[in-house]
């Protein structure tokens, strides 16, 4: 599990755009990229998702902040998914461990209420918890 998380973190880090936002031409004709405005000939580069700051200038801080927020969410999801849910736990214990499920499928028969709780972990991982009368009887991981 940790290796998959490490791969996601590495891929996200490599996907960061270069922080240079100005393509400048030096007096000798060389082209350089820098975050400071060009002194001579140059052009501003548009970074996808870039927003203007209150003073009208474009800020790469927004990109860094969004990246850090996304990485925090990924870490939290991985930490939650790694906590064990075990047979015999009550519904309340499952909620305190993994939080509320994204979806609950319920079957009611005489004397028995069965539920399937569905937890989505990212794009490709789904975890299921099966409860009978509010007690975990089985778990399943789509991974």
Contact 59, 53 (CB under 8 A): yes
- Note the pTM of the prediction, 2 decimals: 0.47
Q: Residue 46 domain-assigned?
A: no
Calculate the dihedral angle through the C-alpha atoms of 86, 1, 118, 80, rounding to the nearest 10 degrees: 70
Q: Residue 23 domain-assigned?
A: no
Per DSSP, 55 falls in state T
- Which residues have a Cβ under 8 Å from the Cβ of 66 and sit 6 or more positions away? 49
Q: Residue 9 domain-assigned?
A: no
Range of the domain at 111: 86-143
Per-residue pLDDT tens over the stretch 90-136: 999 999 888 899 999 999 999 999 999 999 877 788 999 999 999 99
Q: Residue 129 domain-assigned?
A: yes
Overall number of domains in the chain = 1
């Amino acid at each position: 599990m940790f290796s998959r998380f490490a791969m996601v973190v590495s891929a996200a880090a490599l996907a960061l755009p270069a922080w240079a936002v100005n393509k400048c031409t030096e007096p000798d004709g060389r082209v350089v990229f820098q975050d400071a405005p060009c002194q001579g000939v140059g052009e501003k580069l548009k970074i996808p998702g870039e927003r203007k700051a209150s003073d009208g200038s474009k800020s790469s801080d927004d990109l860094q902040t969004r990246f850090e927020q996304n990485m925090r969410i990924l870490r939290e999801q991985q930490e939650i998914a790694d906590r064990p849910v075990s047979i015999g736990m009550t519904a309340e214990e499952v909620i305190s461990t993994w939080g509320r499920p994204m979806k609950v499928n319920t079957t009611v028969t005489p004397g028995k209420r069965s539920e399937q709780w569905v937890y989505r972990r990212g794009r490709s991982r789904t975890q299921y918890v099966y409860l009978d009368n509010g007690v975990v009887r089985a778990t399943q991981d789509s991974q």
